[in-house]
Amino acid sequence: MVGKVALITGSAKGLGKKTALTLAEQGCHIALNYVHSESEARALQSEIEKLGVRCIAVRADISRREEIETLASQVQDSLGTIDILVNNAGPFIRERRLFTDYSQGDILAMIDGNLVGTMLLDHLVLPGMRDKGWGRIIHFGFGHASESRAWPHRAVYAAAKTGLVSFTKTLAVEEASYGITVNMVCPGDIRGRNKEISIAEARELSDGETPLGRPGSGEDIARVISFLCHTDSDFITGNIMDISGGLDPIRPWVKPS
């Protein structure tokens, strides 16, 4: 993947940061994206540049159409055609709420940030990928999103992501003949510092909610994304991949007695 240009949204911290570092280590030039975390993005930019690749950091809110267009154009102008797009950014309200307790603003922000913004950014980068005859698009979901089950107290987020499941599968079929693959990764419940740690570090921790017995790490997600972006992974497209240690976020795991 040396010389490929990768845009990772929401990449100043967390899973996006770990993904950016992993792709940079593979030789990709990196476009970071942030909204509020400018200092973290600049620090990460310096860290990535030390790996011998080019890196820029662009502020843009993925839920705003005009900012998405500016993001895509800035990456194009600075690094060239986007070869890899990782749609990591997406708002999530951790507080559990009934649908009727959401404001209209909350509903629109969740749909725009998790579904519409992703679709529009894909739409902007696809022509360049088609021209090259090569591209990799990664979407983010949640565990068991492909089953479209009811998720009480997460109605808006679940609706956006399950809609993205269908879009992922459709886009994969439409773009396959152009050398473009489209897949979705569905992380388990990876929180806080764990989003940036290695698998080895995660194995030193315990997690009673995950059947595997350890929490997920940023490396668990980033290594799968890196694999999907590889040139020889072109036969893998339209897949919805759970990377969760067996965790089901909707139905709690019952430990054996």
The mean of the pLDDT values for the chain is: 94
Average pLDDT on 240-247 reads 92
pLDDT digits (tens, 9 = 90+) for 58-94: 999 999 999 999 999 999 999 999 999 999 998 888 8
At residue 30, the pLDDT reads: 98
Least confident of 118-122, 147-151, 177-181: 147-151
pLDDT digits (tens, 9 = 90+) for 84-136: 999 999 888 888 999 999 999 999 999 999 999 999 999 999 999 999 999 99
Domain ranges for the chain: 5-243
Res. 253: pLDDT tops 70:
no
Q: What is the pTM of this model?
A: 0.94
Phi and psi at 186, nearest 5°, equal -125, 95
High-pLDDT (> 70) share of the chain, %: 97
As a whole number of angstroms, the distance between CA 12 and CA 35 comes to 9
Q: Which CATH number fits domain 5-243: 3.40.50.720, 3.40.50.150, 3.40.190.10, 3.40.600.10?
A: 3.40.50.720
Res. 196: pLDDT tops 70:
yes
Q: Are 2 and 208 in contact (CB under 8 A)?
A: no
Dihedral class, residue 246 (left if φ above 0, else alpha if ψ from -120 to 50, else beta): left
Average pLDDT on 20-37 reads 97
Phi and psi at 183, nearest 5°, equal -135, 165
Q: Are 156 and 111 in contact (CB under 8 A)?
A: yes
Residue type for 229, please? C
**Sign of the torsion formed by the C-alpha atoms of 109, 165, 132 and 22:** positive
